Amino acid sequence: MAPAQAPARKPRKRWTRFLLPTYTAGFILYLSFPIFVIILFSFNQTRTGFGTAPRVKTTWVGFTTEWYRRLTELPDLTSAVSHSLLIAFLSALAAVALGTFLGLALARYRYRGRSATDFVIFLNISAPEVVLGAALASFFVSLAFPRGMITLFLSHTMFSIPFVAITVRARAAGLDSSLEAAAMDLGAGPIVTFLKVTLPLLFPGILAGFLLAFALSMDDFVISNFVQGPFTMFPTWVFGATRVGIPPHVFAFATLIFLAGVILAVVQLATQRRER
């Protein structure tokens, strides 16, 4: 790879050239280290005593695929995972439906309160999650609305909307609006134009927004913890389990979710690249 600096000066500084790449590699390794550990230890055996539930061991005992076979053994955990998937799917759908229009509006129109909308988006992204969680929970409490699946769905949709809006806005900003004008000239009404021209053109942005919202929802712990009530999610279940010890099934689930996420992301990146 061509060095960015002029090659003529300081040819003796040879070893320092490797300093930054090595550091970067180390950094990336450090960032993904816990993931390797999770994946590795999801294949670890545990010595179970009689009558005690299996817990992950901090030392390597031996290779096994046992936990993948016994994946759905713990009903609480399994339902927590399915809750997470369900909420992630539903809230991502809702966030996409609402966020697309917000993103489009932000990209296209200069309306009164636009900068206010901008600021609220910014606030929502940058506000600490504890505050958001506490605010949402007190909102539901003050309405005497029971916390559970519905509040989770509403909260997750809410915090995903800005991210979808930003993704869609980025896509819409690069869009040629004369295409819409052309469609209108050819006799298409505003609705037909939107469905046949705008929406397909925005689709990659919308899809990226959907995946982002899905990932955010799956990842979220803090807000779920505040608004979930008795409807336990995967991360909150794991958090609760830290006190008593983590069953190995958690690592197996985490590994599967991780792999699914990576595959989805790779597919998404590949389709984006092909488009360009």
Partner 1 sequence: MLAMVSIALQEGDPLGGFRMTWRFANFADVLSKNQEFIVRSLRNGVIVTVVALLLAYPVAYWIAFHGGRRKTFFLFLLLLPFFISFVIRTVSWSFILQDDGIVLGTLKSIGLLPEGSRVLGTTFSVLAGITYNLLPFTILPLYVSLEQIDHRLVEAAKDLYASRAQAFVKVVFPLSLPGVFAAVLLTSIPAIGDYVNASVLGGPGTSMIGNVIQSEFLTTRDYPEAAALAFILMAILLVGAAIYARVLGTERITT
Closest contact distance (angstroms) between CB of 196 and partner 1 is 25
Can residue 267 be called a binding residue for partner 1 (CB under 8 A)?
Answer: no
Distances from the Cα of 26 to the Cα of 15, 23, 30, 32, angstroms: 17, 5, 6, 10
Stretch that binds partner 1, among 71-79, 138-146, 174-182, 190-198 (CB under 8 A): 138-146
Contact between 103 and 167 (Cβ < 8 Å): yes
Length of the chain: 276
Q: Which residue among 54, 100, 164, 169 contacts partner 1 (CB under 8 A)? A: 169
Closest contact distance (angstroms) between CB of 176 and partner 1 is 19
H or E stretch at 75: helix 75-108
Count of residues in contact with partner 1, rule CB under 8 A? 84
Closest contact distance (angstroms) between CB of 187 and partner 1 is 31
**Dihedral angle, C-alpha 27, 263, 67, 213, nearest 10 °:** 80
Span 146-165, contacts to partner 1 by CB under 8 A: 157-158, 161-162
Contact between 56 and 255 (Cβ < 8 Å): no
Contact between 226 and 151 (Cβ < 8 Å): no
Stretch that binds partner 1, among 62-70, 97-105, 181-189, 203-211 (CB under 8 A): 97-105
H or E stretch at 238: helix 234-241
CA angle 78, 219, 166 (to 5 degrees): 140
- 33/63 with CB nearer partner 1: 33
- 96/238 with CB nearer partner 1: 238
Closest contact distance (angstroms) between CB of 194 and partner 1 is 17
Whole-angstrom Cα distance, residue 249 to residue 32? 20
Closest contact distance (angstroms) between CB of 220 and partner 1 is 8
Span 171-210, contacts to partner 1 by CB under 8 A: none
Q: Which residue among 11, 49, 51, 142 contacts partner 1 (CB under 8 A)? A: 142
3-state secondary structure 180-205: HHHHHHCCCCHHHHHHHHHHHHHHHH
Residue linked to tokens 């046992």 = 66
Span 206-265, contacts to partner 1 by CB under 8 A: 215, 218-222, 225-226, 234-236, 238-239, 242, 246, 250, 254, 257-258, 261-262, 265
Closest contact distance (angstroms) between CB of 183 and partner 1 is 25
Stretch that binds partner 1, among 63-71, 131-139, 174-182, 195-203 (CB under 8 A): 131-139
Contact between 57 and 70 (Cβ < 8 Å): no
Span 33-62, contacts to partner 1 by CB under 8 A: 33-35, 37-38, 41, 56, 58-59
